[in-house]
Amino acid sequence: MGSSDPSGPPSRREPERASGGEPAAPRCELDADGARAQRERYRALGRAATEIAHDGGTLTARFSHDVDRELLSRTVAVERECCPLLGIELDLEHAALRMSVNQPSHVPVLASIAEALGVG
């Protein structure tokens, strides 16, 4: 069973398979508890955001100078592990984050992250 502890290791669900045993299209691999914990991390980061922009395939965020950088690093580390379809650039020194996708079918992933950060 997954852990809801936001600081613990990410909880993962078994990958889905398309017919014939092939892997399904890429998607988040967190289970419900892991996804809930990640969403809470994004919400906390959203409260420290000074600027957030979401334009289709790109999401950028800048955070206040006193943002919890450990939380920012942890959130990005979990995202990189569970959602490899995202291009992620993190600049801890300037508290800036940029995420991108290169396939239209992956845009909803960024939209859900933007929503968790407080956009919209």
Q: Please tell me the predicted confidence (pLDDT) of residue 22.
A: 36
pLDDT of 112 over the 50 cut: yes
| Dihedral class, residue 119 (left if φ above 0, else alpha if ψ from -120 to 50, else beta) | beta
- Distance between CA atoms of 118 and 42, rounded to whole angstroms? 9
Q: Please tell me the predicted confidence (pLDDT) of residue 26.
A: 52
CATH, range 52-120: 3.30.1370
Mean local confidence (pLDDT), 24-46: 85
Residue in this structure with the two tokens 């420290």, named with its chain if needed: 48
Q: Please tell me the predicted confidence (pLDDT) of residue 27.
A: 60
Contact 102, 57 (CB under 8 A): yes
Q: Please tell me the predicted confidence (pLDDT) of residue 18.
A: 39
Contact 62, 49 (CB under 8 A): yes
**pLDDT tens per residue across span 59-100:** 999 999 999 999 999 999 999 999 888 999 999 999 999 999
- Distance between CA atoms of 46 and 76, rounded to whole angstroms? 14
